[in-house]
Amino acid sequence: MKKLFLVATAIVLAGCSSQTANPQPSDSPGGTVTVIAHDSFVMTDQQINDFKAATGITIELIQAGDAGTMVSSAILTAGSPSADVMFGIDNTLSAKAVNSGVFEPYESQASGTFKSEFQNLTAGGHLTPVDFGDVCVNFDKKFFAANSLAVPTSLADLTSKQYSGLLVTQDPGTSSPGLAFLLATIATFGDEWPTYWEQLRANNVKVAGSWSDAYFSDFTAGGGNGAYPLVVSYATSPAAEAVYAETELSEVGTGSMTAGCFRQIEFAGILRGSDNVAASRLVVDFLVSKEFQSSVAESMFVYPVRQDVALPDAFTRFAAEVRNPLSLPSEVIDVNLDAWLTAWDAVMKN
């Protein structure tokens, strides 16, 4: 028993030694900036160290789960926030957060380098766009070739009989791409969107609980024993397949529809009540700097907002170029989301 006690003490001391440093509030640049992000955010140790070497600012990262949890915590603590900078709030939730007084106004000086459609996208001077992606229907090329079936090219196509029982999407109440797909149909069909979903349902669409479930269990090209060659995913998923493959791929087995895609834009903002606003501004600038922007494609599979950043090879070869993405104004989404989800439930779950 004594031995067990000694071992236990050693273990406890080992745990103690890996504590992270206590952030010191400071008014001048320098000090620590806490960045709260969702679980898909990637910032490498290299980038954090480089930034510290250049500015003396230490970035501490909190990964708060999904975007909804992150934004919830910010709204609840508006004015005395858990962090200094938030990254990853997207256009479905931005209006709600801005209206709740979550952010400190700041517009990055670098906005002149953004692609034109992002230059004035600041939600009244509160947010800075950092990256974007498109949620599109992906298809398994092998399946369509083997069955001599043409790949669908529009949302309307998905309701035709030849694609019956081939599409899997996600529940918009629990999945971000699932929500984006619903918004795409609303943007396309306006008030008639419930009819579209009735047709999808009649065409045996499957609704999965999460993206990973749909992609890995149901998608025929996901590695599991899936039976659905059409899945709602990202325009960059085919590029991801190429990057993560064990050998260099000259072509990828999946492709993406380029119509019916919904654009998701991710923003960063300074939280109102932060005690290190000056340093936080530098961190936001860093997120839209050339160095960071050239990493977002490969690490998060999203597109940078800057136009002077080169895309990785896999993107230019395999990611679909979406020329006319669909979108809805944040305010409109904020006001109607509850009603839309209730209506969707009524169509799909009865």
213-232 binders of other proteins (CB under 8 A): 213, 215-217, 221-225
Among 6, 54, 76, 346, the residue binding other proteins under the rule CB under 8 A is 76
What is residue 54's three-state secondary structure? helix
Nearest by Cα to 186 from 340, 339, 324, 348: 340
For the bound state, the minimum distance from the C-beta of residue 90 to other proteins, rounded and expressed in Å, comes to 11
How far apart (Å, rounded) are the C-alpha atoms in residues 302 and 237?
10
Q: Does 16 bind other proteins (CB under 8 A)?
A: yes
Q: Which helix (H) or strand (E) is 11 found in, with range? A: helix 2-16
Q: Which of residues 294-323 bind other proteins (CB under 8 A)?
A: 299, 301
**86 φ/ψ angles, rounded to the nearest 5 degrees:** -115, 135
**226 φ/ψ angles, rounded to the nearest 5 degrees:** -70, 160
How far apart (Å, rounded) are the C-alpha atoms in residues 332 and 44?
36
For the bound state, the minimum distance from the C-beta of residue 213 to other proteins, rounded and expressed in Å, comes to 5
Q: Which of residues 169-208 bind other proteins (CB under 8 A)?
A: 171-174, 176, 179, 207-208
Among 40, 111, 199, 203, the residue binding other proteins under the rule CB under 8 A is 40
Count of positions on this chain that bind other proteins (CB under 8 A): 81
Among 68, 105, 194, 312, the residue binding other proteins under the rule CB under 8 A is 68
Q: Which of residues 254-273 bind other proteins (CB under 8 A)?
A: none
Among 6, 24, 49, 80, the residue binding other proteins under the rule CB under 8 A is 80
What is the pattern of x (binds other proteins, CB under 8 A) and - over residues 127-166?
----------------------------------------
Q: Does 278 bind other proteins (CB under 8 A)?
A: no
- CB-wise, 18 or 148, nearer to other proteins? 18
Kindly write down the DSSP assignment for every residue of 216-233, as one continuous string. Answer: IIIBTTSSS---BSEEEE
Among 66, 117, 157, 331, the residue binding other proteins under the rule CB under 8 A is 66
Among 77, 188, 199, 336, the residue binding other proteins under the rule CB under 8 A is 77
Q: Does 237 bind other proteins (CB under 8 A)?
A: yes
Q: Does 246 bind other proteins (CB under 8 A)?
A: yes
Q: Does 250 bind other proteins (CB under 8 A)?
A: no
Please, are residues 203 and 165 in contact by the beta-carbon 8 Å criterion? yes
Q: Categorise residue 34: left if φ over 0, alpha if ψ from -120 to 50, beta otherwise.
A: beta
For the bound state, the minimum distance from the C-beta of residue 50 to other proteins, rounded and expressed in Å, comes to 13
CB-based contacts of 156, cutoff 8 Å, min separation 6: none
Among 12, 28, 250, 324, the residue binding other proteins under the rule CB under 8 A is 12
Among 112, 161, 190, 244, the residue binding other proteins under the rule CB under 8 A is 244
Q: Does 46 bind other proteins (CB under 8 A)?
A: yes
CB-based contacts of 97, cutoff 8 Å, min separation 6: 71, 74, 75, 89, 103, 269
For the bound state, the minimum distance from the C-beta of residue 268 to other proteins, rounded and expressed in Å, comes to 16
Place of tokens 């998608």: 219
Q: How many residues does the chain have?
A: 350
Please, are residues 255 and 151 in contact by the beta-carbon 8 Å criterion? yes
Among 33, 57, 64, 297, the residue binding other proteins under the rule CB under 8 A is 64
Nearest by Cα to 126 from 146, 141, 105: 105
